[in-house]
A and B are shown apart, each in its own frame.
Chain A
Amino acid sequence: DTGVSQDPRHKITKRGQNVTFRCDPISEHNRLYWYRQTLGQGPEFLTYFQNEAQLEKSRLLSDRFSAERPKGSFSTLEIQRTEQGDSAMYLCASSHDGQAYEQYFGPGTRLTVT
């Protein structure tokens, strides 16, 4: 399967713990996006990378959140000191400049903070 993959698919953690999610984009895609989706809502933009450079971060991304894409391939999203309000689906998408920026989405990581 050569689509966008995310790991883990589900994560249950206790409040105050740190969690890290991974996204592997489609191999030739240079752009990578993170979104957050809460129940009953559409996804909201968190941040995006062009190659290894993080170009934009949403105000939703508090200082407890950090994202990296060290070699311009996979990306990680870390949440420190999780809060119950962080419970959501975290979606990753990737795109290629040469394909009119169409974004391909991964299956998401569902985070539950208890």
Chain B
Amino acid sequence: KNEVEQSPQNLTAQEGEFITINCSYSVGISALHWLQQHPGGGIVSLFMLSSGKKKHGRLIATINIQEKHSSLHITASHPRDSAVYICAVRRWNDKLIFGTGTRLQVFP
């Protein structure tokens, strides 16, 4: 079993839909990252959080430390949100462990 599990693996949505991507982890962490990867490989950090909730524009990330679970929400999705979203947890030795990613496609 992977230490970081994401669901779903693939997600298709119509423009305007509310989207949720889930991440569960089984190890102790100091922080959790949500990352976005576009075709071509570049990775952009969306959020780093260790408790509660963060919001940036149409993106919201939440984490429940007790349940070892985090969610990434996208409100009013748009085709430009199409990308792979990766959850990564930071161990106390600063190493990142990544999930396999959720491929999101938003159609007009």
Contacts and interface: CB of A to CB of B under 8 A. Distances in A.
Given A100-B31, A103-B96, A42 B86 contact: yes
A104 B44 CA distance: 7
Contact of A56 (B4, B90, B93): B93
Interface of B is mostly: strand
B95 A45 contact: yes
Interface residues of B, number: 23
Interface of B: 4, 31, 33, 35, 40-45, 48, 86, 88, 90, 93-101
A93 B41 CA distance: 13
Tell me what chain A mostly uses at the interface: helix, strand, loop, or mixed: strand
Interface of A: 31, 33, 35, 37, 40-45, 48, 56, 89, 91, 93, 100-108, 110
B98 A108 contact: no
A101 B101 contact: no
Nearest to B101: A42
Contact of B100 (A33, A40, A104): A40
A30 B49 CA distance: 22
Contact of A100 (B41, B48, B93, B95): B48
A105 B101 contact: no
